[in-house]
Chains A and B, each alone.
Chain A
């Protein structure tokens, strides 16, 4: 590594930091005022990139075309953000935060397919900025002019936002609403417009960030999740609601990534360290470290009166005789199912069972535990890899692998959970995501052991279970047992302690429940269940790749739980089956399954704000409570 290399990487890293800051500042503003964790923020960024490239093509070349494209794309995205707020979120501000989250997931799905529909699946390269495509000379190293512009733009936007927030009445109202929305309303401010305005501003910043990236990064359909995770990391590391913190965090992440690139592969004491491989994961490591030592990020403060994204308080229903009757009937139907359906349906039913267990394990943390996990796919993946590696590398028989997988899931969950329970709410959720991303990138990059991005192939069930029907029965039996075990734990003293901790942390502490400890121990329980689901998944597919624990799977899990409703254990089981079946059903008819699913979820959220099972229960019971 020469000094010139380092300089080049640093400039690139700082330019990235600038767009990252624009993106994150928008998310931070929106969260600060509306307390909505807007997962669709990354989708808005993606639309900014696509929109700007498309506009630049149609507006003709030249600096005017380029910059109008950037501006119009940003404004267009701002308008879209405001529309999203008006059409969807405005109706559900009163609903539990997790439903708002679900609604924003639905928007993610819809936007992704809308982009696919409009711009196709191929990556699209953007034009270079006319007049700024050259380089300037710095220490003998060519530095792209455009990067320099971006590096300047970051602080300029920070300053502009600071002025807006501190020198205008609108800004003062936003800062007040960030602290105490209810009070702002009682003082005569119509928050409805405040919220819409903040959404427009925040979305516009995401759109601007995306549009500005057009010469540097091709538009692709994967940008949405990459952008949203990056933005979350910056916001959380910087401290929720702090623009200065976000600026600092974006800078630090940009520089650290640049250093990893610049170091490349170096030999230390005979060990070969490949730093460039670290770039995929370094921001998550940074986030985990920050949260472990500074739970509110660089510049954050504990949120006053912020509701945690937890399940709403609901009584636990002791199952009636009717429940057992229905459960028995369901068991019989499931057992005899193979006699009536073809192999295709059987495989689908197997998938449904596996994801029902996955969703139930996530529900265990979210519902009774009140801890939203954004990275639950980690335990699913760890189980899958544990089983796959034992089978492939050690030649272990299937039953051994199936037994080891939950153990592996539990051990990792015990470790990760120890850090996570020190935090609450969004911070906790983000730390779970960080751990998941770290595990994912290890699987992705540790070629020698995990097979890297190719993963492992040829992990087939033992001969006695190889038949589709047999494997189905095995899966159903194991999943039913595991779900029943979760149910048992929820209704045991441990489960009561967990819920007591969720509903009234201080009071539970006062009656002698060690809340943190109970919460911590709930992690391995959930991890074991997810690990088993992962192992079954590997054997049903015969192969696995790092995808099994990609962010999208964690998001799927959240959607399943929220779709069914977080209040009951039956909800997620039902939600998972519904999700898996719908996905397959729609996929067979149209390529645009996300669009349909997203719209369906939106309708569900707006019509059934308690999840399907929760709402049905209410309807059945005649609208009591």
Chain B
């Protein structure tokens, strides 16, 4: 399958202050696919996503979105170009209601996708529709996680960086989340998903990349990953 590349990172070095975390990271996300970035805690998954978004500055390397360089743009410009970001640890605005959380992220519609509205998002996440006026701080972990995803979709992104959506959620909720994400994929959204939960990633990803100590150790299809027991045993916690 060859399709258009939306997001490409090559040879990224990145980190916080003097501490370098990423070493020569390269990644590719094509239109309509879900790529899972797998790795243990502290491997550098979140740092990779933050660097792609421009929240952490790459010290070296290139990032392109639809062929345009984005590695020097501020995050808000990256977002406006069509890259959405869902942070880990569900950073909902605790003092804002569900509707207000969505309002913060509302952006004009974009060619090529059906615009997201709160009503459409409530079809995807029916729970949220039942608590429109509830404040972010008064929601359960699973509800917050759905809200962060819904919030990012309000920007009508073409591709989304999704940082450990299953983290700390009950298994039932994780399944629900997987269904939601699969639904988004059917809508044509491209997703770069960071995960530790291999089962969850397997359910929705087309391809996988494995990161360890800030270095990409493996890239391939999910099938290739499953065939390669050595890689799985070495880099993925069981």
- Which residues of A come within 8 Å of B, CB atoms? 169, 172-173, 175-176, 178-180, 182-191, 304, 625
* B94-102, B171-179, B191-199, B224-232: which lies at the interface: B94-102
Task: Judge whether A190 and B96 touch: CB under 8 Å.
Answer: no
In the bound complex, what is the Cα–Cα distance between A178 and B96 (angstroms)? 11
Contact B96 A176 (CB under 8 A): yes
B152: A residues at CB distance < 8 A: 187
In the complex, B76 has a CB within 8 A of chain A? yes
Beta-carbon contact of B95 and A179 below 8 Å: yes
Q: How far is the CB of A351 from chain B (nearest CB, A)?
A: 39
Which B residues lie within 8 Å of A191 (CB)?
76
Q: A184 to B53, alpha carbons, bound, how many Å?
A: 13
Complex: how many Å from CA A161 to CA B55? 31
Which of A173, A187, A304 contacts B79, CB < 8 Å? A187
B113: min CB distance to chain A, Å: 15
Instruction: Please determine whether A189 and B104 come into contact, CB atoms closer than 8 angstroms.
Output: yes
Instruction: Kindly specify which of B7-15, B61-69, B85-93, B214-222 makes contact with the partner chain.
Output: B85-93
Tell me whether B39 is interfacial, beta carbon within 8 Å: no
Known contacts A179-B93, A179-B95, A187-B155; A172 and B103 CB within 8 A of each other = yes
Contact of A186 among B18, B79, B101, B103 (CB under 8 A): B79
- Cβ-defined contact, B103 with A188, below 8 A: no
Question: How far is A173 from B105 in the complex, measured between Cα atoms in Å?
Answer: 9
Q: Is B74 an interface residue (CB 8 A)?
A: yes
CA distance A183 to B94 in the complex (A): 12
Q: Give 26 CB contacts A-B under 8 Å.
A: A169-B103, A172-B103, A172-B104, A175-B95, A175-B96, A175-B100, A176-B100, A176-B101, A179-B93, A179-B94, A179-B95, A179-B96, A180-B93, A184-B104, A185-B55, A185-B76, A186-B53, A186-B55, A186-B76, A186-B79, A186-B85, A187-B79, A187-B104, A187-B152, A188-B79, A188-B107
Beta-carbon nearest neighbor of A184 in chain B: B104
Q: Are A180 and B91 in contact (CB under 8 A)?
A: yes
Closest Cβ neighbor of A171 among chain B residues: B100
Residues of B within 8 A of A179 (CB): 93-96
Chain B positions within 8 Å of A184 at CB level:
104
- In the complex, B75 has a CB within 8 A of chain A: yes
Q: What residues make up the interface of B, taking CB atoms closer than 8 Å to A?
A: 18, 53, 55, 74-76, 79-80, 85, 87, 91, 93-96, 100-101, 103-105, 107, 151-152, 155
Interface pair A172/B100, CB less than 8 Å apart: yes
B76 touches A188 (CB 8 A): yes
Q: How far is it, in angstroms, between the C-alpha of A183 and the C-alpha of B18 when the chains are bound?
A: 23
A296 to B103: give the CA distance in the assembly, Å.
29
The residues of A that contact B91 with a CB separation of less than 8 Å are 180, 183
Using Cβ atoms and an 8 Å threshold, which residues of chain B touch A186? 53, 55, 75-76, 79, 85, 87
Inter-subunit contact A187/B105 (CB<8 Å): yes
In the complex, chain A residues whose CB is within 8 Å of the CB of B100:
172, 175-176
Contact A625/B104 with A183-B87, A187-B155, A188-B155 known, Cβ cut-off 8 Å:
no
The answer for the CA separation of A186 and B46 in the assembled complex, in Å, is: 14
Give chain A residues whose Cβ lies under 8 Å from the Cβ of B105: 187-188
Q: Which residues of B contact A169 (CB under 8 A)?
A: 103
**Cβ–Cβ contact A182 & B55, under 8 A:** yes
* Contact pick for B151, options A187, A190, A304, CB 8 Å: A187
What chain B residues lie within 8 Å of A178 (beta carbons)? 95
Could you tell me if B76 and A189 are in contact, using CB atoms closer than 8 angstroms? Answer: yes
* Residue in A169, A173, A180, A188 with the greatest tally of chain B CB atoms within 10 Å: A188
C-alpha spacing A179/B75, complex, angstroms = 17
Shortest distance between the CB of B153 and any CB in chain A (Å): 11
Given A175-B96, A178-B95, A185-B75; 12 other pairs, CB 8 A cutoff: A173-B104, A176-B93, A180-B91, A185-B55, A185-B79, A186-B75, A186-B79, A188-B79, A188-B107, A189-B104, A190-B74, A625-B18
| A188 near B80: Cβ-Cβ < 8 Å | yes
The 3 closest A-B pairs by CB, nearest first: A188-B79, A187-B105, A176-B104
Minimum CB–CB distance from B213 to chain A (whole Å) comes to 22
Rounded to whole Å, the gap between the CB of B75 and the closest CB of chain A is 5
Query: Looking across the interface, which residue of chain B has its beta carbon closest to that of A166?
Result: B100
| Residue of B with least CB distance to A188 | B79
Report the Cα distance A182→B89, complex, angstroms.
14
Most buried by B among A180, A184, A187, A191: A187
- A184–B100 Cα distance when bound, in Å, is 12
- The CA-CA distance from A625 to B95 in the complex, in Å, is 39
Chain B residues whose C-beta falls within 8 Å of the C-beta of A176 in the assembled complex: 93, 96, 100-101, 104
How many angstroms between the C-alpha atoms of A191 and B18 in the bound complex? Answer: 26
Which interface residue of B76, B80, B152 has the most chain A CB atoms within 10 A? B76
Tell me the bound Cα distance from A173 to B53 in angstroms. Answer: 20
Q: Which residues of chain A come closer than 8 Å to B155, judged between CB atoms?
A: 187-188
What is the bound-complex CA distance between A227 and B74, given in angstroms?
Answer: 37
Q: Considering the chains assembled together, what is the distance between the CA atoms of A180 and B75 in angstroms?
A: 14
A108 to chain B, nearest CB (A): 31
B18 to chain A, nearest CB (A): 7
Q: B99 to nearest A CB, angstroms? A: 9
Complex Cα distance A183/B76, Å?
A: 10
CB neighbours of A185 from chain B (8 A): 55, 74-76, 79
Chain A residue numbers with a CB within 8 Å of B55 are 182, 185-186
Assembly CA distance A169 to B53 (angstroms): 24
Residues on the A chain within 8 Å of B151, using CB: 187
**CA–CA, A233 to B18, complex, Å?**
38
CB distance from B122 to the nearest CB of A (A): 19
| A175→B107 CA distance, assembly (Å) | 18
Which residues from chain B contact A304 at a C-beta distance below 8 Å?
A: 94
Chain B residues near A175: list those with CB within 8 A: 93, 95-96, 100
